[in-house]
Amino acid sequence: MNHSSPSDPSSDRSQPDKLSLSTKLAYGAGDMGAGITTILISFSLLIFLTEVAGLDPGLAGTVLMIGKVWDAINDPMIGMLSDRTRSRWGRRRSWMLFGSLPFGLSFFLHWLVPHFSADPQVNQWALFTYYIVVSILFQTAYTAVNLPYTALTPELTEDYNERTSLNSFRFAFSIGGSILALILGVVLTQLMPDLKQMYVALGGICAILSVFPLYWCVFGTRERYQTQAEPTSLSLISQFKIALSNRPFQFVSGIYLFSWLALQLTTTIIPYFVVSWMRRDSFFEVALIVQVVAIIMLFVWSEISKSLGRKAVYFMGMGFWIIAQAGLFFLPRDRMDLMFFLAVLAGVGVATAYLVPWSMLTDVIDLDELNTGQRREGIFYSFMVFLQKLGLGLGIFFVGQTLQWSGFIESAGSTTIPEQPDSALFAIRMAIGPLPTLFLIGGLILAYFYPLSREVHAAILLQLYERKHQASVKATD
């Protein structure tokens, strides 16, 4: 007897939608390079620019802002182009294949400190220009490989739980790559006291480790659910209007924006918090704790979501994260034990920020296909990331300017860590505590009103299945 529910169209098609372990591993490997590069740039680039390259915090923050704003601008363009790409490697994997080498090379160039002039002011502005150019090149290459990769998920499976599983593998590799990068940072810091040499070695090794997993993903996966329709002739603005008319997409965009603003602002400022407020020589241990706990919790939350749903998982994870984030503001300077405990709580919550919004987005894309008859993954993925990166760029710029206005003292490569004035310490604590906490609360509010439950998504898939079945019957008549 067949006990499958009519509201669950995937139940009678579960076997074809089940992906092999090799496919899931290959898909997950595609995000390893993004995890490596993102963690090092998020945690280390701002402090590298101020403490090793010698840029003042205002200029360093501007470098990161320009890179992120350009990243936000090029996302929609590459998303639309990937939607329209037709090649033997598929419309997504071809971008990953040919963008991999520029991605690795431009990442490596971040960690060089070229000398342009004996005049300190001229050299300062020349370095500022150099890092802006490198940042623009890297963000272009990053988008060319990572945006098509993220849009690949719904083309591999239509199954609700399989998509969540795919994202678990994806972020397991992503966080695993970030952990590997942080461990390399710890080891190389001990082996190479010269910070300039250490960052060159770290950048070179991580560039190589970021490129090769992309080839594993390209050759180890195959699109299964590509639309057969011709590329849409709508303009970019028209497609954005359609995307924004999708009400659940508005909620997912906001949830993602708030979650990742909190995460990225924290990773940017936490090196300054650990070094200047907690008076520690290295911030890598704290980052490692967060990432290790997050990678473990990814699979825990994935299992919990199968029974309770994504919204419940997001609420539970955010509860732990908010406690950790708010607690950092009140953390005494001599309590590293509490610092490590808060890092564990943060890791529990960070895992849901990795897992839930991206899983929600695949359901939104199915709804759009039901309403329009087209698959526009690239536009939806790119526009969500566009909002996140635009906000993040402005947020990092604000952090850099705030550090400069508060009187932060950069060491410019000196081995002696300067004691910061009270104004700078207060600015650092505000940026790591209250500000991210407000973003997390905003994400919780949006998640509460998110309209696509598991049952609603099952009904959407049922209608899509019936439409495709009717179309196939007509085609055979």
Cα 158 to Cα 362, 439, 457: the distances in Å are: 9, 31, 11
Q: Is 147 within 8 Å of 75 (Cβ atoms)?
A: yes
Report how far residue 38's alpha carbon sits from residue 177's, in angstroms, rounded to the nearest whole number. 10
Q: Average pLDDT of 330-349?
A: 91
Q: Please give the span between the terminal C-alpha atoms of the chain, in angstroms, as a whole number.
A: 32
pLDDT of residue 229: 41
- CA distances in angstroms from 286 to 177, 178, 355, 407, listed in the order given: 16, 13, 21, 26
Q: Which residue carries 């509201």 as its tokens?
A: 7
Residue 72, C-beta contacts closer than 8 angstroms, at least 6 positions apart: 385, 386, 387, 388, 389, 390, 393
pTM of the model: 0.72
377 or 85, higher pLDDT: 377
* Upper half-sphere CA count for residue 209 (Cβ side, 13 Å): 21
- Distances in Å between the Cα of 109 and the Cα atoms of 113, 122, 199, 217 are 9, 20, 11, 25
The stretch 443-447 carries a mean pLDDT of 90
pLDDT on residue 138: 96
Does the pLDDT of residue 309 top 70, yes or no? yes
Indicate whether 160 pLDDT > 70. Answer: no
Helix axes 236-244, 336-372, angle to 10 degrees: 110
The answer to whether 59 touches 397, Cβ cutoff 8 Å, is no
Residue 294 pLDDT greater than 50, yes or no: yes
- Average the pLDDT over 21-27 and give the result: 87
The predicted model gives 300-323 an average pLDDT of 87
- Cα 260 from chain centroid? 7
Higher pLDDT, 7 or 25: 25
Q: What's the confidence (pLDDT) of residue 381?
A: 73
Residue type, 265: L
Name the band, by pLDDT with cuts 50, 70 and 90, for residue 408. Answer: confident
Beta carbons of 286 and 339 less than 8 angstroms apart: yes
Distance CA 228, CA 412 (A): 56
Tokens of 206: 């991580």
Q: Is the model more confident about 40 or about 468? A: 40
H or E element: which one contains 81? helix 57-84
What is the token pair recorded at 182?
């942080």
pLDDT at 83: 67
Say what the pLDDT of residue 390 is: 73
Share of the chain above pLDDT 90, in %: 23
Per-residue pLDDT at 129 exceeds 90:
yes
Torsion of CA 385, 390, 395, 396, to 10 degrees: 90
DSSP helix/strand/coil, 279: coil
Task: Give the per-residue pLDDT at 365.
Answer: 84
pLDDT score of 8 more than 50: no
